[in-house]
Amino acid sequence: MRLVHGRRTPCILFMALLLVLSSLPAFAGHSDAPAVKKGILLVAFGTSEPEARVAFDHLGELAAKRFPAVPVRWAYTSNIIRKKIAKQGLMTDSVPVALAKMVEEGFTHIAVQSLHTIPGEEFHEKLLGVVNGFRSLATISVGSPLMTSPQDMETVVKAIQATIPAARKADEVVLLMGHGTHHPGNIYYPGLQWYLSTRAPLVFVGTVEGTPSLDDVLAELEGRKVRKIWLMPLMSVAGDHARNDMAGPEDDSWTSILTAKGYKVESVLKGTAEYDAFASLWIDHLQVAFERLD
């Protein structure tokens, strides 16, 4: 992933740009129609953890490999993350700013790929909601998050099974930490648990801010002869949640809570986007979105 060092361009310039560009449809019938120029915009929630950015680097490399002649741009949907990395001297755009820049550069067809895990608030409001405002300026196609269909769920289950550490024994539990949300899109987490229960009975899904919760998982483990639990993030990057809420030393981290209950715990600090098994599904969704541009 490419982060740019430098000053943030004042928002007023982009407001002015949008006002100018909004007049372009009036010239749609002009004989000198612009030549087709295709581009890709990869959109993630974002991360402020330098070590976690390797996941986005991996996705960027896969996108460049699949579409070698197509320029790739990036955007973060999280305002908080963009502010945090700005203090680190690194800049990445919001979705509206990234799209405005691409339109200004002459891109007429843009495939926007969500790198979110589920279609929650970040996807619907900060990605789709913004994209819809740009459809009069360019042909835009949006690729789905990781899990949006029964076929996706099947693929994700296979990816989970393929990325479980080889050292994990058959009688040991694997607990995946998802972010969770109060948005209706949270339903994909219990949905994934159902798929896992039929294929990998000792693999569980918990979330930080949704359902199932850690307490829900602990209730499922009650009475089982489980001695060891492997913790893995069900997030594209092993960022703040994985390093602190999951594996951190604080008393309220999942590691500390599980250890206090007598379980032996081992954490894997690797985001799903670091694995080809997961990342390829996002790129496949991008392929579908890109082909829709035609």
Annotated catalytic, 179?
yes
Residues 6+ apart with CB under 8 A from 31: none
Distance from C-alpha of 238 to C-alpha of 51, rounded to nearest angstrom: 8
Residue in 109, 179, 241, 285 annotated catalytic: 179
> Which letter does DSSP use for residue 208 in this model?
S
> What is the residue type of 201?
P
Q: What is the spatial distance between Cα 178 and Cα 208, in angstroms, rounded to a whole number? A: 7
DSSP summary character for residue 7: P
Q: Which residues contact 68 (CB under 8 A, 6 or more apart)?
A: none
Residue type at 172 in one-letter notation:
E
Separation of alpha carbons 108 and 39, rounded Å: 8
Of 131, 121, 96, 118, the closest CA to residue 9 belongs to 96
Give the integer Cα–Cα distance in Å for 268 and 238. 9
Determine the Cα–Cα distance for residues 279 and 289; give it in Å rounded to an integer.
16
Helix, strand, or coil here: 227? coil
Using only C-alpha atoms, what is the Rg of the chain? 21
Residues that are catalytic:
179
